[in-house]
């Protein structure tokens, strides 16, 4: 790794390498791909949330001209799953959420497929839907998955509870919780709630699959992780991995919703039923909302014991995660939020129970922040409440309790100087919003009379990559004849800009101009080396290390050849300006292009050969967590941060504007400043959507009522804060590339509680449910008689 303090490329604001293709429309997505003989697919989805399937009549659809294949769950005796294998390709015997696919058609045209779907008749026997997560948690008779005990699952990390609707439980036990509460002067309890929300990628899910001869399968898919798709596809159909090829072209956003596996098995089965013709399925926006996964809902109960001096003596947390109808990523969200549930605070006594609970709703999966957006809504609203109950400024309260070096985390990990500093992040946003303490009631009343009220609030955050202990990345760097290079990786750049800093690493390590470095955007499991998954904000520190290792191998091979040319040691060289140069005699050098395919001596003899560097990096030192106590080392690194906001509220309507948001993240090392600022601002706006407007709304019988942008709003330009202040703290991480940490998910976390705390400062109101709509603020104001009256 380059150890220079001043870098030529690292830390610079380099333009994104995919910009030209995207702005000109030349970038190729799954929907752009067409294959000879390709058919088009449509799904028939359930109109009810929970029911037995009594009968499906597909005869009319099969008789329609142009229909090539029709499938129902009866023809597909397969289970699919990520960590717990609980899902059918098409519903069989019963449906578990409204919007679940029950039949599918492949036809010559999309119009014929749409017509055929309407001809399929299904008879249902209705069952009681379970929509409330707490009701489902306590239910013992009405089981959404009666066969839960028979499903295969990853036994080292996930613990389903047969005979219940609980598909996983994660525990943390640290210290003596009863003793901690007994020592408290004050005990504070409250419940917080979060709804499910949609990922809303610009590009909906899509896949093209051709099930060819000898069970050779070709998959084009809009997915985050090609090797995960391949692995799960092979597991489902008991196919050898070498027979399945997965190609991921450009991807138009994912945010976790395109992690794991989704359409690919269904489209593959349609192709097989159609005699091996390729089949294409692209989700509509309504299907994106109502059939494909969303973010899990969360009901969160917190009980905190406090000394009058502000020290936390004990904290107990119970998290009920609504997985929806299937476990998917929800069980890992539960696991990750379980060991993160205390936040970046030090606890001598901590008890956490985090449950994944089936409900008859759209199933949940990974979503940017991986459970921490929901977790920190309750936690950081609660920390302000705790400070209020003992009469301490919330800033001082946090400073008393935040983690510092030599403290231990919830799982027993020792915090070190290289762990990063949440305190520096908090101090940075406090300074930026000029926090001086809460306003008095008299000050609030005076402002209310003027019609406009302002308030300030802040919230901290942390998150570690949620991943297996053996998570690994690899890459291949190939040098072309002119000394330029091509990088092949299998991490998917689905809009997060990952590939650009990878080129900066190569440029820095090899001293090659950025213009001579190309990253192959289309990832291909037949061509590209293995990578675990593009999730968890882990690729920059880990994949970056793999790229550095590949550069080192490339330089080692070049040194071996140059040492033979100059008859010296392999350690006698430096790499500058696209040349390998003899240290003690700078006039002796070899241009990279002379080594690219093999060095040729004047007499024609050749040595070396084509230059290829392979880089590998695997997470080291991680452990599984103890099933009963949650103790262990789950985190490759922690990224800490904080947000500070200022809001203005119209006291007549409850409408509020976020005037300013300052966001600080300890990123370890800024790799590309412009890209990082873009990620931060984009994440804050996405967090703002979660905070103020986004949510799933269900009818009493389990129908999703708002499955379009008409009724399920996302932020627009008018919602964007007037002022963004991005702040980056650089405390180098000892394992990350150049000291870097992941920061793609983190800007979204804690935006909502910072706003909630600011509204409390402005009006004295307490909000415990997301989203915070204008009408919620107005209603809360009416309850605060001392202020409004």
16-25, 60-69, 354-363, 571-580: least confident range: 16-25
Residues 345 and 451 in one domain: yes
Which DSSP string do the residues of 307-343 spell out, in sequence order? -TTS-EEEEEEEEEEEEETS-TTHHHHHHHHHHHTT-
Q: What angle separates helix 673-692 from helix 751-763, to the nearest 10 degrees?
A: 60
Residues 553 and 699 in one domain: no
Structure tokens at 326: 């299937």
**Residue 699: predicted pLDDT:** 98
pLDDT band at 495 (very low <50, low <70, confident <90, very high): confident
- Rounded-to-integer distance, Cα 183 and Cα 740, Å: 40
E-strand ranges in 50-202 read 51-57, 67-72, 79-80, 87-88, 94-95, 101-107, 121-126, 166-174, 186-194
Total count of domains within the chain:
3
**Residue 446: predicted pLDDT:** 80
Beta bridge partners, 479, equal: 485
Residues 209 and 69 in one domain: yes
- Rounded-to-integer distance, Cα 16 and Cα 407, Å: 39
Residues 23 and 39 in one domain: no
Rounded average pLDDT over 266-283: 98
Sign of the alpha-carbon torsion through 755, 756, 757, 759: positive
pLDDT band at 5 (very low <50, low <70, confident <90, very high): low
364 — phi, psi (to 5°)? -100, 160
Look up residue 408 and give its DSSP letter: B
Question: pLDDT tens digit string along 76-99?
Answer: 999 999 999 999 999 999 999 999
Question: pLDDT tens digit string along 545-556?
Answer: 999 999 999 999
- Given a cut of 70, is residue 789 above it in pLDDT? no
Model pTM score? 0.96
In angstroms, what CA-CA distances link 314 with 348, 378, 602?
7, 17, 77
Q: Which residues constitute the domain of residue 449?
A: 294-412+419-467+624-784
Question: pLDDT tens digit string along 210-265?
Answer: 999 999 999 999 999 999 999 999 999 999 999 999 999 999 999 999 999 999 99
Tell me whether strands 517-519 and 485-489 are parallel, antiparallel or unpaired: parallel
In a domain, 74, yes or no: yes
CATH of the domain at 479: 3.30.365.10
Edge-first strand listing for the sheet containing 452-463: 452-463, 639-650, 656-666, 723-729
Find where tokens 């689905």 sit. Answer: 494
Cis peptide before 273 (omega within 30 of 0): no
pLDDT band at 579 (very low <50, low <70, confident <90, very high): very high
Question: pLDDT tens digit string along 604-630?
Answer: 999 999 999 999 999 999 999 999 999
- Given a cut of 90, is residue 107 above it in pLDDT? yes
Question: pLDDT tens digit string along 454-473?
Answer: 999 999 999 999 999 999 99
In a domain, 172, yes or no: no
Tell me which of 448 and 429 has the higher pLDDT: 429
Beta bridge partners, 572, equal: none
Structure tokens at 765: 């109101």
- Given a cut of 80, is residue 787 above it in pLDDT? no
- Rounded-to-integer distance, Cα 521 and Cα 488, Å: 8
In a domain, 392, yes or no: yes
Give first-to-last CA distance, the chain, whole Å.
65
- Rounded-to-integer distance, Cα 617 and Cα 567, Å: 33
Residues 586 and 499 in one domain: yes
Residues 501 and 631 in one domain: no
- Given a cut of 50, is residue 525 above it in pLDDT? yes
Average pLDDT across the chain, whole number: 96
Cβ(324)–Cβ(330) below 8 Å:
yes
What percentage of the chain has pLDDT greater than the value 70? 99
**Residue 786: predicted pLDDT:** 46
Rounded average pLDDT over 496-518: 96
Cβ(666)–Cβ(425) below 8 Å:
yes
**Residue 1: predicted pLDDT:** 47
Cβ(219)–Cβ(207) below 8 Å:
yes
- Rounded-to-integer distance, Cα 589 and Cα 771, Å: 63
Structure tokens at 20: 């030209």
In a domain, 156, yes or no: no
**Residue 785: predicted pLDDT:** 63
**Residue 757: predicted pLDDT:** 98
In angstroms, what CA-CA distances link 415 with 9, 22, 403, 459, 680?
31, 42, 8, 20, 25
In a domain, 12, yes or no: no
Residues 657 and 608 in one domain: no
3-state secondary structure (DSSP) of residue 580: strand
Residue 344, judged by CB atoms within 10 A of its CB (0-12, 13-18, 19+), counts as buried
In a domain, 58, yes or no: yes
Closest by CA position to 628, among listed 84, 159, 152, 154 = 159
Question: Which of 31-34's residues contact partners 24+ apart within 8 Å by CB, and which partners?
Answer: 31/203, 31/206, 31/282, 32/249, 33/208, 33/220, 33/249, 33/280, 34/280
- Rounded-to-integer distance, Cα 54 and Cα 64, Å: 24
Residues 275 and 309 in one domain: no
In a domain, 341, yes or no: yes
Domain boundary among 618, 650, 672: 618
pLDDT band at 442 (very low <50, low <70, confident <90, very high): confident
Domain boundary among 290, 314, 336: 290
In a domain, 633, yes or no: yes
HSE (CB half, 13 Å, CA atoms) of 161? 17
3-state secondary structure (DSSP) of residue 233: helix
- Given a cut of 70, is residue 531 above it in pLDDT? yes
Q: How many helices (H) and strands (E) does the chain have?
A: 20, 33
- Rounded-to-integer distance, Cα 256 and Cα 272, Å: 29
CATH of the domain at 125: 3.90.1170.50
Find where tokens 């600022």 sit. Answer: 677
Domain boundary among 598, 618, 638: 618
Residues 687 and 612 in one domain: no
**Residue 263: predicted pLDDT:** 96
Residues 509 and 569 in one domain: yes
- Rounded-to-integer distance, Cα 691 and Cα 686, Å: 9
50 — phi, psi (to 5°)? -155, 115
Rounded average pLDDT over 728-753: 97
Residues 105 and 248 in one domain: yes
Cβ(133)–Cβ(359) below 8 Å:
yes
Rounded average pLDDT over 751-775: 96
Cβ(298)–Cβ(374) below 8 Å:
yes
Residues 302 and 366 in one domain: yes
């Amino acid at each position: 790794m380059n150890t220079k303090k001043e870098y030529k490329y690292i830390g610079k604001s380099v333009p994104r390498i995919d910009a030209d293709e995207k702005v000109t429309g030349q970038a190729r997505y799954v929907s752009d791909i067409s294959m000879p003989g390709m058919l088009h697919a449509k799904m028939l989805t359930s109109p009810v949330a929970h029911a037995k399937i009594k009968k499906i009549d597909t005869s009319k659809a099969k008789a329609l001209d142009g229909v090539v294949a029709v499938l129902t769950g009866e023809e597909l005796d397969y289970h699919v799953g990520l960590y717990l294998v609980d899902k059918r390709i098409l519903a069989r015997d019963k449906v578990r959420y409204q919007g679940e696919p029950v039949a599918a058609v492949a036809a010559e045209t999309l119009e014929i497929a749409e017509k055929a779907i309407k001809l399929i008749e299904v008879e249902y026997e209705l069952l009681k839907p379970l929509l409330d997560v707490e009701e489902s948690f306590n239910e013992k008779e009405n089981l959404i998955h009666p066969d839960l005990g028979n499903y295969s699952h990853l036994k080292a990390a996930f613990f389903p509870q047969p005979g219940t609707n609980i598909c996983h439980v994660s525990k943390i036990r640290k210290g003596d919780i009863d003793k901690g509460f007994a020592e408290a002067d004050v005990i504070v309890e409250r419940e917080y709630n979060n709804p499910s929300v949609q990922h809303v990628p610009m590009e909906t899910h899509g896949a093209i699959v051709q099930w060819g001869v000898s069970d050779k399968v070709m998959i084009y898919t809009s997915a985050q992780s090609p090797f995960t798709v391949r692995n799960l596809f092979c597991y489902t159909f008991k196919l050898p991995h070498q027979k399945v090829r997965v190609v991921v072209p450009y991807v138009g956003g994912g945010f976790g919703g395109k992690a794991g596996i989704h359409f690919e098995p269904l489209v593959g089965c349609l192709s097989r039923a159609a005699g091996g013709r390729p089949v294409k399925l692209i989700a509509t926006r309504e299907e994106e909302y109502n059939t494909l996964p969303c973010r899990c809902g969360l009901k969160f109960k917190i009980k905190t014991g406090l000394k009058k001096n502000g020290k936390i003596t004990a904290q107990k947390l119970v998290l009920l995660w609504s997985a929806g109808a299937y476990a998917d990523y929800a069980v890992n969200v539960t696991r990750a939020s379980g060991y993160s549930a205390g936040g970046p605070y030090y606890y001598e006594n901590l008890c956490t129970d985090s449950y994944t609970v089936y409900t008859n709703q759209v199933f949940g999966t990974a979503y940017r922040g991986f459970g921490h957006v929901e977790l920190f809504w309750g936690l950081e609203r609660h920390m302000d409440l705790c400070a209020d109950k003992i009469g301490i400024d919330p800033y001082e309260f946090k400073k008393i309790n935040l983690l510092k070096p030599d403290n231990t985390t919830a799982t027993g990990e020792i915090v070190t100087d290289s762990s990063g500093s949440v305190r520096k992040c908090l101090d940075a946003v406090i300074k930026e919003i000029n926090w001086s303490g809460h306003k008095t009631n008299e000050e609030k009343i005076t402002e209310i009379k003027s019609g406009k009220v302002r308030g300030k609030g802040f919230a901290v955050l942390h998150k570690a990559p949620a991943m297996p202990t053996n998570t690994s990345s690899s890459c291949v760097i190939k040098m072309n004849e002119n000394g330029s290079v091509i990088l092949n990786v299998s991490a998917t750049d689905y809009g997060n800009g990952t590939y650009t800093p990878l080129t900066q690493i190569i440029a820095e390590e090899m001293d090659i101009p950025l213009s001579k470095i190309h990253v192959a955007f289309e990832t291909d499991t037949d061509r590209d080396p293995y990578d675990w998954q593009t999730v968890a904000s882990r690729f920059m520190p880990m994949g970056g290390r793999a790229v550095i290792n590949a550069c080192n191998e490339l330089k080692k091979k070049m040194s071996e050849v140059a040492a033979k040319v100059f008859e010296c040691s392999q350690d006698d060289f430096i790499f500058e300006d696209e040349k390998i140069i003899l240290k003690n005699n700078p006039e002796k050098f070899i241009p990279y292009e002379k080594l690219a395919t093999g060095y040729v001596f004047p007499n024609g003899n050749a040595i070396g050969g084509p230059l290829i560097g392979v880089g590998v990096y695997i997470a080291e030192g991680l452990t599984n967590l103890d099933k009963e106590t949650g103790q262990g080392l789950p985190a490759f690194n922690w990224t800490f941060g904080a947000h500070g906001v200022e809001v203005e509220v119209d006291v007549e309507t409850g409408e509020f504007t976020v005037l300013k948001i300052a966001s600080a993240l300890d990123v370890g090392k800024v790799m590309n400043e412009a890209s990082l600022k873009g990620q931060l601002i984009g994440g804050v706006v996405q967090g703002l959507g979660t905070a103020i407007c986004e949510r799933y709304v269900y009818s009493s019988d389990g129908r999703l009522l708002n499955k379009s942008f008409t009724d399920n709003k996302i932020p627009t330009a008018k919602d964007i804060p007037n002022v963004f202040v991005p702040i980056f703290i650089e405390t180098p991480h000892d394992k990350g590339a150049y000291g870097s940490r992941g920061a793609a998910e983190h800007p979204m976390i804690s935006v909502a509680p910072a706003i909630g705390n600011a509204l409390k400062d402005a009006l004295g109101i307490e909000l415990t449910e997301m989203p915070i709509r204008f009408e919620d603020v107005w209603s809360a104001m009416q309850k605060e008689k001392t202020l409004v009256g």
